[in-house]
Every structure is written in C-alpha cells, then in structure tokens.
Structure 1
Amino acid sequence: MGMWNHVGLCVSDLDRAIRFYGEAFGFTERNRLAIPDPIASKLLRVPEPVGMTAAYLTLGDAEAGGAVLELLHFDRPGNDPQRERSFTEPGLTHISLTVDDVAATCDRVRALGGEVLDDTDVGGLAIMVRDLDGQIVELLPPGALPQ
C-alpha cells in the first residue's frame, strides 16, 4: 500500500512562488534544497547542467496527512511556461484546496498577481484560479466534497 507524499510543481521564480502560495493559501516553507546536478539529471532525465532547487511547502500538519507542495526551479533555459494545457489532456489538470473563505482567497490571489477565472464560478461550490505561472488551482469551501 502506498501513502500520498507530495506533488511537484515547476515554477519560473522560486521566491515569488513561495510568497504567492504562502500568502494566498497559507503554505509554509519547511525546507529548501539545491539538488546536485548528477542526481537531478538522472532522476528527471534532463541533461546537465540542471541547476535545480526544490522548496518544500506544507499546508496543515504534513506528518498527519497535510499537503506537501514541492516547488521546483531550474537555472537552465526552458523554465518559462510553454502553453496552456486543456483539462481533457492526460496528466495533472489542477491542484484543489479547501479554503475557509473562497472570496477572500480570490482577493488575495488577485492582489498577489494571480488570476481568478471568474467564468468558472459554479455558484459558490468551486472556482478556478491561476498561480503566477499559470497552474490551475481549484478553490473549494469547507464541506464541498462528499465524504
């Protein structure tokens, strides 16, 4: 049997992303590591030099099953967003977070430079926002998902 560990997200500016996820959603930076090029190159199947830094952010108590978000930054070229992905393409479509106040969270997202996708608001049940690099984050009020 497995256990959820983390999800990794490549970002164009590590410090800016840490600030965004912290101030918008309440994540806390727990650790930051410069990953040696030989390890990063082999694990990620990218050529050296890699120049990878990983920051681990937590939401809630990670030891008790809280969320861990790994933000990855690469010093090499090609670290910029390429294109918007469709929800119908295979692969990760979004990150989903339960927040105490959806409207206030949307206000923080806007103030920090993110985008609120107002046309996705489904009557207070959920809304989608984009982080600074275009990653979709779904915001849900408490109790929005069936148990």
Structure 2
Amino acid sequence: MSEKVNHVGLAVADLDSEVDFWTGALDFERVGALDADDASTGQLLRMEKPGLRAVYLRKGDFVLELLQFRGAGLVDRPARVVNEPGLTHLSLNVANMDAALERVRAHGGEVLEDTRLWDVAVMIRTPAGQLVELLVGFETPTTDLGE
C-alpha cells in the first residue's frame, strides 16, 4: 500500500531553537515551512484552533517535520522514556562521536552521559526532549541479527 515514508513529525515548544539544533548540531537541511490553515489542520489533527507552524528538515531521504502549536500549545508531560508505547527515538550515524557531542551541547542539546558506550553509541535529548541515538560505524540492520 505505502510507496515510501513521507516524514516523521515532532511537536516542539520553541520552533526556532529546535530548527537551530537539528540544522546546527545534526546537519539537517531546512527544506520548507508551512503556516497551516486552522480549519483543515484542526480537522485532520482533531484539534480546535491548532495555530500550526511547521518546518521541514531533510537529511538524505529522511524528512523531519517540526510542529509548533501556537494556538493549542503543548500538553505538559514527563520526559519520554524508551519503554513508553509509541516512537521511542531516532537513530543517526555520525562520523566522530566527540565532535558530534560537542555540537549537540553547543546547540542546546543534552548528552545522556550514563548511556555512552565507548565511542560507538550514546543517547542525547534535543531541546524539545526528543531522544536521539548517535552511532559510529553501525549500518541499518537488513537481516535477522539473532537472539
């Protein structure tokens, strides 16, 4: 049925700081923006007056949609954990872990130091609190890796 993944959406409180983080720290490219109509967007998202502003970022074939709800605002909730149902994290390959973590900190992200596995894997949080796994030297699994 599906031809390809179109994008993944991420709700954020501060759109400008999140765009700065993804483009500055993680090398995403800004490819578009949208000020959405409340009537049609509200119907699609089941929200009253969402006041949606979206910015689209690309890395390779992957598109990330950052969503700011200026009308409806965000629901306050605790920091996301990986065993919570739903999207747990995004995983990105980086060439140099130390350089990547320096950029993460410089752009307002948080390095979860206790998760670091040598220079090959670590979890970070974006300014909006989204978990992102940074990896060095790992390819996407294409076969069963076993138990």
Q: TM-score, normalised by structure 1?
A: 0.88
Considering fraction of residues, name the structure with more helix: 1
CA contact 1:59–1:68 (8 Å) conserved in 2:
yes
Residue 22 of structure 2 aligns with which residue? 21
Q: For residues 19 and 80 of structure 1, do their structure 2 counterparts lie closer, same or farther at Cα, with a shift above 3 Å needed? A: farther
Write out the 4+ residue segments of structure 1 that deviate beyond 6 Å after TM superposition. Answer: none
Match 1:93 to one of 88, 101, 108: 88
Q: For residues 103 and 132 of structure 1, do their structure 2 counterparts lie closer, same or farther at Cα, with a shift above 3 Å needed? A: same
Residue 105 of structure 1 aligns with which residue? 100
Residue 117 of structure 2 aligns with which residue? 122
CA contact 1:12–1:79 (8 Å) conserved in 2:
yes
* Structure 2: gaps spanning 5 or more residues: 143-147
Q: 2:78 aligned with 1:83, yes or no?
A: yes
Q: Report the Cα distance in structure 2 between the residues aligned to 1:139 and 1:14, rounded to whole angstroms.
A: 22
Q: How big is the shift at 1:76?
A: 2.2
TM-superposition CA deviations, 1:114-143 (whole Å, max 9, x none): 100010012233100000011101001133
Q: For residues 140 and 101 of structure 1, do their structure 2 counterparts lie closer, same or farther at Cα, with a shift above 3 Å needed? A: same
Deviates more, 1:129-138 or 1:86-95: 86-95
Q: 2:50 aligned with 1:57, yes or no?
A: no
* Structure 1: gaps spanning 5 or more residues: 61-65
Residue 39 of structure 1 aligns with which residue? 40
What's the % identity of the aligned pairs? 44
Deviates more, 1:99-108 or 1:136-145: 136-145
CA contact 1:12–1:80 (8 Å) conserved in 2:
no
Q: Report the Cα distance in structure 2 between the residues aligned to 1:56 and 1:12, rounded to whole angstroms.
A: 16
Aligned length: 141
CA contact 1:81–1:134 (8 Å) conserved in 2:
no
Residue identity in the other structure for 2:56: Y
TM-superposition CA deviations, 1:39-91 (whole Å, max 9, x none): 110111111x211011110012xxxxx11000001112532652112221210
Q: Report the Cα distance in structure 1 between the residues aligned to 2:75 and 2:112, rounded to whole angstroms.
A: 21
Q: How big is the shift at 1:16?
A: 1.3
